[in-house]
Amino acid sequence: MHYTDAIRQQARRLHQHSTAQHRLRAADVRPLHIFAVVVVSLSLLPLGYLFLRATQAGADSIAFLLSGRVLGVLANSLKLTAAVALSATTLGLLVAWLTTRTDIPLRRLWLISSPLPLAIPSFIGAIAYIALLGPRGIIQQVLSPLGVQELPSIYGFPGAWLVITLFTYPYVLLPARAALLRLDPAQEETARSLGHSRWSVFWRVTLPQLRPAIGTGMLFVALYTLSDFGAVALLRYNAFTRAIFQQYTSSFDRTRAAVLALVLVALALALVSLERRVASSASNYRAGGSSTLRQFPLVRLGWWRFPALTFMAALIGLGLIAPLAVLVSWATQAVHSSASPLYSALAQPAANTAAISAVTAVLVSLAGLPLALLARQQRSPLGGWLVRLAYLGNSLPGLVIALALVFFAATYLPALYQTFALLILGYAIRFLPLSIGATQSALAQVNPCYEEAGRSLGLPGWQVNIRITLPLVRPGILGGAALVFLNVAKELPATLLLAPTGFKTLTTQIWSAHNEAQMSQIGVPALLLIATSALALSLILARDRGAEAG
Are 311 and 391 within one domain? Answer: no
Least confident span in 85-94, 295-304, 534-543: 534-543
The yes-or-no verdict on residue 394 having pLDDT over 70 is no
The yes-or-no verdict on residue 5 having pLDDT over 60 is no
Are 222 and 235 within one domain? Answer: yes
The yes-or-no verdict on residue 220 having pLDDT over 80 is yes
Predicted confidence band of residue 194 (pLDDT cuts 50, 70, 90)? low
CA-CA distance, 115 to 545, in Å (whole number)?
13
- What residue numbers bound the domain in which 153 lies? 45-283+307-333
Predicted confidence band of residue 542 (pLDDT cuts 50, 70, 90)? low
Question: Phi then psi for 228, rounded to 5 degrees?
Answer: -65, 135
Are 272 and 357 within one domain? Answer: no
The overall average pLDDT reported for the chain is 78
Please enumerate in sequence order all residues whose Cβ is within 8 A of that of 118, keeping only pairs 6 or more positions apart, or say none: 167, 168, 170, 171, 486, 533, 537
The yes-or-no verdict on residue 17 having pLDDT over 50 is no
CA-CA distance, 443 to 24, in Å (whole number)?
20
Q: Show the 3-state SS of 427-478.
A: HHHHHHHHHHHHHHHHHHCCCHHHHHHHHHCCCCHHHHHHHHHHHHHHHHHH
**Quick one: 185 exposed, middle or buried, by C-beta within 10 A (0-12, 13-18, 19+)?**
middle
Q: Which of 325, 71, 291, 326 is nearest to 186 (CA)?
A: 291
Mean pLDDT value across residues 128-132: 92
Instruction: Render pLDDT for 344-381 as a digit per residue (tens, 0 to 9).
Output: 678 888 899 989 999 999 999 888 888 887 776 655 56
Supply the CATH number for residue 325's domain. 1.10.3720.10
Predicted confidence band of residue 283 (pLDDT cuts 50, 70, 90)? low
Least confident span in 23-27, 57-61, 242-246, 451-455: 23-27
The yes-or-no verdict on residue 8 having pLDDT over 50 is no
Predicted confidence band of residue 187 (pLDDT cuts 50, 70, 90)? low
Are 322 and 379 within one domain? Answer: no
Predicted confidence band of residue 288 (pLDDT cuts 50, 70, 90)? very low
Indicate left, alpha or beta for 253 from its phi (over 0: left) and psi (-120 to 50: alpha): beta
Report how many domains make up the chain: 2
Domain boundary among 298, 333, 368: 333
The yes-or-no verdict on residue 429 having pLDDT over 70 is yes
CA-CA distance, 425 to 401, in Å (whole number)?
10
CA-CA distance, 282 to 209, in Å (whole number)?
7
pTM exceeding the 0.75 threshold for the entire prediction: yes
Residue 102's DSSP bridge partners are 299
In a domain, 36, yes or no: no
Are 267 and 147 within one domain? Answer: yes
- End-to-end C-alpha distance for the chain, whole angstroms: 52
Distance of CA 406 to the CA centre of its chain: 24
CB 84 within 8 A of CB 165: yes
**Quick one: 342 exposed, middle or buried, by C-beta within 10 A (0-12, 13-18, 19+)?**
middle
Are 378 and 329 within one domain? Answer: no
CA-CA distance, 466 to 61, in Å (whole number)?
49
Tell me the percentage of the chain whose pLDDT exceeds 70. Answer: 74
In a domain, 159, yes or no: yes
CB 473 within 8 A of CB 443: yes
Mean pLDDT value across residues 153-176: 92
Domain boundary among 291, 318, 333: 333
In a domain, 1, yes or no: no
Least confident span in 252-256, 297-301, 528-532, 537-541: 252-256
Are 199 and 153 within one domain? Answer: yes
In a domain, 158, yes or no: yes
Predicted confidence band of residue 192 (pLDDT cuts 50, 70, 90)? low
Are 318 and 347 within one domain? Answer: no
CA-CA distance, 93 to 200, in Å (whole number)?
17
Predicted confidence band of residue 293 (pLDDT cuts 50, 70, 90)? low
Least confident span in 96-100, 104-108, 144-148, 381-385: 381-385
The yes-or-no verdict on residue 84 having pLDDT over 50 is yes
Are 313 and 365 within one domain? Answer: no
Distance of CA 505 to the CA centre of its chain: 21
In a domain, 288, yes or no: no
CB 405 within 8 A of CB 45: yes
Instruction: Render pLDDT for 440-476 as a digit per residue (tens, 0 to 9).
Output: 777 776 666 766 666 666 666 656 666 767 777 777 7
Coil, helix or strand at residue 497: helix
Please enumerate in sequence order all residues whose Cβ is within 8 A of that of 545, keeping only pairs 6 or more positions apart, or say none: none
The yes-or-no verdict on residue 197 having pLDDT over 70 is no
Least confident span in 46-50, 75-79, 308-312: 46-50
Are 456 and 318 within one domain? Answer: no
Least confident span in 177-181, 343-347, 533-537: 343-347
What pLDDT is stored for residue 406 in this prediction?
82
Predicted confidence band of residue 95 (pLDDT cuts 50, 70, 90)? very high
Are 135 and 202 within one domain? Answer: yes
In a domain, 299, yes or no: no
CA-CA distance, 215 to 276, in Å (whole number)?
8
In a domain, 9, yes or no: no
What pLDDT is stored for residue 445 in this prediction?
66
In a domain, 290, yes or no: no
Tell me the percentage of the chain whose pLDDT exceeds 90. Answer: 20
Predicted confidence band of residue 286 (pLDDT cuts 50, 70, 90)? very low
What pLDDT is stored for residue 265 in this prediction?
77
Indicate left, alpha or beta for 418 from its phi (over 0: left) and psi (-120 to 50: alpha): left
CA distances from 306 to 46, 96, 104, 303, 312 (A): 51, 17, 9, 6, 10
What pLDDT is stored for residue 88 in this prediction?
95
Are 507 and 366 within one domain? Answer: yes
CB 242 within 8 A of CB 233: yes
